[in-house]
Copies of this chain bind each other. A is one copy, B any other.
Amino acid sequence: MSGEICGQRNAMNIKDYMEHVGSSARAASRIVARASTAAKNAALHAMAGEIRSGREGLLAANLRDVEQARSEGLDAAMIDRLTLTAGGIETMAQGLEQVAALPDPVGDISDLKRRPSGIQVGKMRVPLGVVGIIYEARPNVTADAAALCLKSGNAAILRGGREALASNQAIAACVREGLTIAGLPESAVQILDTTDRAAVGYLVAMPQFVDVIVPRGGRGLIERIAAEARVPVIKHLDGICHVYIDDDADIDMAIRIADNAKTQRYGTCNTMETLLVAQAIAGRVLPQLAKIYTDKGVELRGCEQARALIPEMHAACEEDWSTEYLAPILSVRLVAGLDDAILHIARYGSQHTDAIVTENYSHALRFLREVDSSSVMVNASTRFADGFEYGLGAEIGISTDKFHARGPVGLEGLTSQKWIVLGTGETRS
């Protein structure tokens, strides 16, 4: 089947191919939008079965990608993200089953209330339509994204990275087979078989066929897509996350949280990149923290006042405050108090995730209200900003936009709500 589409495409130009993909996705979206929960779950379970029984084929396809990547000299981190193992394939299958186990959001009716005219007005949750997902390296995104889009009643068009083409096509075959087994149209999830960059240009500029784009990748990719897009984009940009240790913080808790937020994992978007400490408490908290970080090999870059307390710190430059290190490096700044911390976050933050550690009720409430980030936390590690930790079951990304979906985007973020009116013959006067 993959070969057939591939053959068709070679005979067409990219524009025709993308219009064919787009119009089939639009047609399929009408069918999956009204598909029963049972049919969608059956497809997800069938996909998991296909992935398990097709393991050897998936590993062989992945090996071709990895060998190609090695011959092109791609770096070790990229090859690591690209590589599928038997365990990774089982995780992928389990991920599909986990999405099947989530409640179906489609058709949920909420907020029904009777109006003076007699009508009842409420909202019904409905799919967005066709979701385009553009991502890099990791082939497991293919299965995750397919599952979330299908469960939320959307058709999906997936565009994976050039380096994972063989792996993604092999996963695509399992996905299509699962859809067919469940009696759903196989064009409900289409994985592009072209690595031509022009395909992305068409994908993001077909509002007649595509309702929203979710790019997953580096800042460069996302900004390029946002600039070209003619449809809404759910953007996942930098995570310059802060922990602010308030003058009223519990010292032990502050140390525990600041340690965890930085060192539990260095490369994730919800990792703390800047630690802000109230001057009044800095002398009691920073020396202990500096020792913990230094023991774990974290490089500290501090403001003048922080360096007065911890002379071993490097000096931070202006650029440090707006840098997402994704590495064992932490910038540290002393601030006068809550107002100063909020100002720093407004100026340098990326509206991703910021936390305060405090025992002061008013400070906690003000931080919650005034920090304009997709996740704002009191007395918890920024590392919790995650679809699984929030109970969404899975996430298609973490939005740093304010519009539509903010923070971890799960099934709900892939739907919208329409108004419904239940009348008994009312007319307007």
User: Which A residues contact B (CB, under 8 angstroms)?
Assistant: 30, 33-34, 107, 113, 115, 117, 119, 121, 124, 126, 128-129, 211-212, 232, 250, 253, 256-257, 259-261, 264, 346, 355, 368-370, 372-381, 383-385, 389-391, 402-404, 406-408, 416-429
Contact = CB atoms under 8 A, between A and B. Distances in A.
Contacts of A424: 379
**Which among A250, A376, A377, A419 has the highest number of chain B CB atoms within 10 Å?**
A419
A60 B190 CA distance: 62
* Chain A to chain B: the 10 pairs with minimum beta-carbon distance, closest first: A380-B423, A260-B427, A383-B428, A377-B421, A253-B425, A404-B404, A379-B423, A375-B419, A407-B419, A232-B403
Given A379-B424, A403-B211, A427-B256, A385 B419 contact: yes
A377 B126 contact: no
A355 B119 CA distance: 13
A212 B403 contact: yes
Nearest to A107: B369
Nearest to A343: B30
Q: Does more than half of chain A's interface fall in helix, strand or loop, or is it mixed? A: mixed
A359 to B, nearest CB: 11
**Which among A257, A260, A380 has the highest number of chain B CB atoms within 10 Å?**
A380
Given A378-B423, A380-B421, A404 B407 contact: no
Contacts of A403: 128, 211-212, 232, 403-404, 416
Contacts of A261: 427
A380 to B, nearest CB: 3
A86 B378 CA distance: 52
Given A129-B402, A377-B423, A378-B420, 14 more contacts: A115-B391, A117-B384, A124-B369, A256-B425, A256-B427, A264-B427, A264-B429, A373-B418, A374-B419, A375-B418, A379-B424, A380-B422, A403-B403, A408-B419
Contacts of A417: 406
A382 to B, nearest CB: 9
Contact of A34 (B121, B370, B379, B419): B370
8 contacts: A117-B389, A119-B380, A126-B372, A264-B428, A372-B418, A384-B426, A385-B419, A406-B418
Nearest to A378: B422
Contacts of A406: 416-419
Given A126-B372, A260-B427, A384 B421 contact: yes
Nearest to A392: B121
A212 B404 CA distance: 11
B375 A420 contact: yes
Nearest to A390: B121
Nearest to A374: B418
Contact of A33 (B113, B256, B264, B372): B372
**Which among A30, A33, A403, A422 has the highest number of chain B CB atoms within 10 Å?**
A403
A421 B407 CA distance: 12
A426 B380 contact: yes
B372 A428 contact: no
Contacts of A375: 418-421
**Which among A33, A211, A355, A381 has the highest number of chain B CB atoms within 10 Å?**
A381
Nearest to A408: B419
Contact of A383 (B113, B355, B380, B427): B427
A368 B33 CA distance: 12
A368 B427 CA distance: 19
A406 B369 CA distance: 26
Nearest to A265: B428
